């Protein structure tokens, strides 16, 4: 048995036992059936109070924002949340006080845009249990789960409070006698990933960086896909090398055009910086924020309504031009 | 001599540290501007990595996020976070630029909390990829404005490893050998670390400042190098590229 020479005091929110996870997957359907359903049905069916939630993409890049809105709209509570590059997704989930425990790698901020008052206040309130990690640590924890092993060793975090407030353990390598930090497997109960294209069975293609989504897909017990567009299954079969998430991992396929708005969807549309800035600003006043949330989430039937309230098709066209840097063409 | 502001000076000084053919893990903001300036001046073959998976892009403008589509525009590869961090872990990445709300005399950084952890006075983002980059990249650099609230005697939380407790404590911690903080670039001076004690040491002071000014804006005692030089200010060519090609909308330069 490996000797534990140090360990963090943070709470472990997910069971790292690979055999219990295998038992779950033994019972999960492998049937190739049509899994298309409205997003509201998918969230109602597969996202439960108390579940541990994973969100794909990177904060406001290829992130399933429509799904985050729907989770808040349906009033999910007491969830665990993987705060892995969590930015605008966390801002939305904090507004709904959806989670009460978080694995924190990157939280609260929106990178160069600034800190979210709403996310900050919620964490600072003491209502949320926080265990510290790093971005790579959470990537590795998902990879461990995806590999069916209880942990993966790494050489970061040593000597820091990040390690002290994590749930990682330190041991000695039996080959080299070097210290290793062990990252426990993280199997979210449910995750949502936004992709460019999927067929009705859940075979998915996406373009650009993967972030941690291939491991997230494999690590998660249940997986909801939101997709910019549905494509024929024959198109998937034409070039299966392009499939990045295969159908057997997927529980629901929801067609949500512009589903990452107001974030960026690579090769489709750029982020709506004006709207994100407005969101950060309005959070500073509680009453205005309540009205803002009501306008943009609670009173919206779906993502299409949210988009139509924020510039509609004209805005999407503008953001598409921005993504393709069209304003720079022919100017030099 | 052309006029320049403190941010332009910091970015220029940082860019000069990056040699052609080296590799650098960067975030958004000033570090990215430094990498872009280096690429457009003396280091066209600088390999830039973003933690979300963008590898060696031709940045068309300043990214807003380390995962937005600009970070893999005309790139060699759009990979994953594990890809990026594993290149670092394997020893492929020479430099990284980081920042933080607090830094101490050993170059340790805090970007997690001000106050206690359970119910913090201010909750900050946490490590993100900073702890990973600082653990794995050969040389960690910091670009930051300098004041006594940021340069502190004791961090509220040690998010990202510098030289830890100084001396050989980093080596003993188990972090990869031969890695550690290299230079700290502020609006007033450039610091390195005294080789034995690993304490922060002033090696270069920007024009218009004295050592006493730099010390006054620092919450711990700074060491002085045997020979402290005056920082070479930005050249007109560097300023032109920085202003016209790197950050024409003054997203960073206007700060």
Q: Report the pLDDT value the prediction gives residue A1, as an integer from 0 to 100.
A: 57
- Give CA–CA dist B173/A94, Å, rounded: 36
Nearest to A75 by CA among A60, A56, A95, A91: A95
For residue A176, tell me if it sits in a domain. Answer: no
Set B17, B51, B61, B244: catalytic member:
B51
pLDDT bucket at B1, cuts 50 / 70 / 90: very low
Structure tokens at B179: 């890695």
pLDDT tens sequence across B35-90: 999 999 999 999 999 999 999 999 998 999 999 999 999 999 999 999 999 999 99
For residue A64, tell me if it sits in a domain. Answer: yes
For residue A257, tell me if it sits in a domain. Answer: yes
- Give CA–CA dist A24/A44, Å, rounded: 20
Residues 4-43 of B with CB under 8 A from A: 27-29
Q: Report the pLDDT value the prediction gives residue B2, as an integer from 0 to 100.
A: 63
Nearest to A132 by CA among B86, B188, B117: B117
For residue A135, tell me if it sits in a domain. Answer: yes
Q: Residues 6 or more apart from B229 whose CB is under 8 A from it?
A: B203, B204, B205
Question: A60, A162, A168: best mutation site toward chain B, by most B Cβ within 10 Å?
Answer: A162
Q: Report the pLDDT value the prediction gives residue B118, as an integer from 0 to 100.
A: 87
pLDDT tens sequence across A285-311: 999 999 999 999 999 999 999 999 999
> How many domains, in total, are found in chain A?
1
Whether residue A135 and residue B69 make contact (CB cut-off 8 A), yes or no, is: no
pLDDT value at B255 more than 80: no
pLDDT bucket at A36, cuts 50 / 70 / 90: very high
Whether residue A135 and residue B78 make contact (CB cut-off 8 A), yes or no, is: no
- Give CA–CA dist A109/B28, Å, rounded: 13
pLDDT value at A332 more than 60: no
Domain ranges of chain B: 6-245
- Give yes or no: B51 in active site: yes
For residue A52, tell me if it sits in a domain. Answer: yes
Handedness of CA A149, A154, A156, A161 (dihedral sign): positive
Q: What is the mean pLDDT of residues A244-273?
A: 98
For residue A267, tell me if it sits in a domain. Answer: yes
pLDDT mean across residues, chain A: 97
pLDDT value at A161 more than 90: yes
- Give CA–CA dist A223/A171, Å, rounded: 33
Q: Report the pLDDT value the prediction gives residue A108, as an integer from 0 to 100.
A: 96
Complex ipTM, two decimals? 0.97
Which H or E element spans position A91?
Answer: helix A88-95
- Give CA–CA dist A47/A93, Å, rounded: 13
pTM above 0.90, yes or no: yes
CATH class of the B6-245 domain in this structure: alpha beta
Tell me the CATH number at A294: 3.40.1080.10
Q: Report the pLDDT value the prediction gives residue A327, as an integer from 0 to 100.
A: 80
Any A CB within 8 A of B161 CB: yes
pLDDT bucket at B254, cuts 50 / 70 / 90: confident
Chain B residue closest in CA terms to A137: B132
pLDDT tens sequence across A114-159: 999 999 999 999 999 999 999 999 999 999 999 999 999 999 999 9
Whether residue B65 and residue A59 make contact (CB cut-off 8 A), yes or no, is: yes
pLDDT tens sequence across B130-182: 999 999 999 999 999 999 999 999 999 999 999 999 999 999 999 999 999 99
Domain residue limits at A204? 35-151+182-326
Q: Report the pLDDT value the prediction gives residue A329, as an integer from 0 to 100.
A: 75
Name every chain A residue with its beta carbon within 8 A of the beta carbon of B72.
208-209, 266
User: Which one of B29, B65, B132 has the shortest CB-CB distance to A134?
Assistant: B132
Q: Report the pLDDT value the prediction gives residue B49, as an integer from 0 to 100.
A: 96
């Amino acid at each position: 048995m490996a000797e534990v020479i140090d360990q963090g005091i943070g709470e472990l929110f997910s069971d790292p036992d690979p055999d219990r996870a295998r038992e779950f997957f033994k019972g999960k359907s492998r049937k190739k059936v049509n899994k298309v359903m409205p997003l509201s049905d998918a969230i109602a069916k597969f996202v439960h109070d108390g579940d541990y939630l994973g969100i794909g993409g990177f904060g406001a890049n290829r992130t399933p924002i429509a799904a985050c809105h729907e989770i808040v709209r349906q009033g999910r509570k007491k969830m665990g949340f993987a705060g892995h590059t969590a930015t605008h997704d966390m801002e939305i989930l904090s507004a709904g006080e959806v989670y009460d425990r978080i694995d924190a790698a990157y939280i609260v901020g929106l990178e160069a845009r600034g800190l979210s008052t709403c996310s900050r206040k919620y964490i600072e309130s003491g209502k949320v249990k926080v265990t510290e990690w790093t971005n790579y640590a959470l990537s590795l924890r998902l990879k461990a789960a995806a590999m069916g092993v209880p942990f993966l060793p790494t050489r970061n975090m040593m000597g820091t409070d990040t390690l002290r407030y994590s749930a990682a353990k330190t041991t000695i390598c039996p080959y080299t006698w070097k210290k290793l930090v062990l990252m426990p497997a993280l199997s979210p109960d449910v995750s949502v990933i936004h992709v460019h294209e999927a067929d009705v069975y859940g075979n998915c293609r996406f373009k650009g960086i993967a972030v941690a989504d291939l491991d997230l897909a494999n690590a998660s017990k249940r997986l909801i896909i939101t997709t910019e567009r549905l494509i024929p299954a024959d198109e998937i079969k034409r070039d299966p090398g392009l499939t990045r998430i295969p159908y057997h991992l997927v529980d629901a396929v929801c067609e949500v055009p512009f589903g990452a708005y107001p974030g960026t969807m690579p090769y489709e549309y750029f982020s709506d910086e004006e709207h994100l800035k407005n969101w950060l600003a309005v959070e500073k006043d509680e009453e205005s924020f309540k009205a803002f949330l009501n306008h943009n989430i609670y009173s919206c039937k779906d993502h299409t309504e949210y988009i139509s309230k924020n510039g509609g098709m004209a805005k999407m066209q503008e953001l598409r031009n921005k993504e393709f840097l069209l304003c720079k063409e022919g100017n030099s | 001599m052309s006029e320049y502001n403190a941010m332009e000076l910091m970015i220029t000084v940082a860019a000069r540290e990056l040699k052609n053919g080296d590799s650098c893990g960067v975030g958004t903001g000033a570090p990215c501007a430094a990498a872009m300036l280096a690429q457009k001046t003396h280091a066209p073959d600088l390999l830039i990595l973003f933690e979300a998976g963008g590898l060696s892009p031709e940045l068309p403008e300043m990214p807003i996020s380390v995962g937005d589509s600009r970070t893999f525009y005309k790139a060699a590869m759009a990979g994953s976070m594990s890809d990026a961090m594993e290149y670092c872990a394997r020893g492929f990445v020479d430099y990284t630029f980081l920042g933080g709300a607090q830094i101490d005399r050993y170059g340790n950084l805090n970007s997690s909390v001000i106050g206690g952890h359970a119910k913090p006075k201010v909750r900050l983002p946490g490590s993100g990829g900073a702890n990973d980059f600082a653990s794995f990249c050969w040389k960690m650099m910091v670009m930051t404005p300098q004041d006594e609230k940021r340069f502190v005697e004791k961090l509220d939380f040690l998010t990202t490893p510098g030289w830890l407790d100084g001396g050989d404590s980093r080596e003993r911690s188990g972090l990869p050998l031969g890695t550690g903080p290299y230079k700290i670039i502020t609006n007033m001076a450039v610091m390195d670390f005294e080789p034995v004690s690993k304490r922060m040491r002033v090696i270069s002071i920007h024009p218009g400042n004295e050592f006493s000014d730099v010390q006054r804006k620092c919450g711990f005692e700074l060491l002085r190098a045997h020979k402290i030089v005056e920082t070479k200010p930005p050249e007109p060519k560097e300023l032109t590229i920085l202003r016209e090609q790197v950050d024409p909308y003054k997203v960073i330069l206007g700060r």
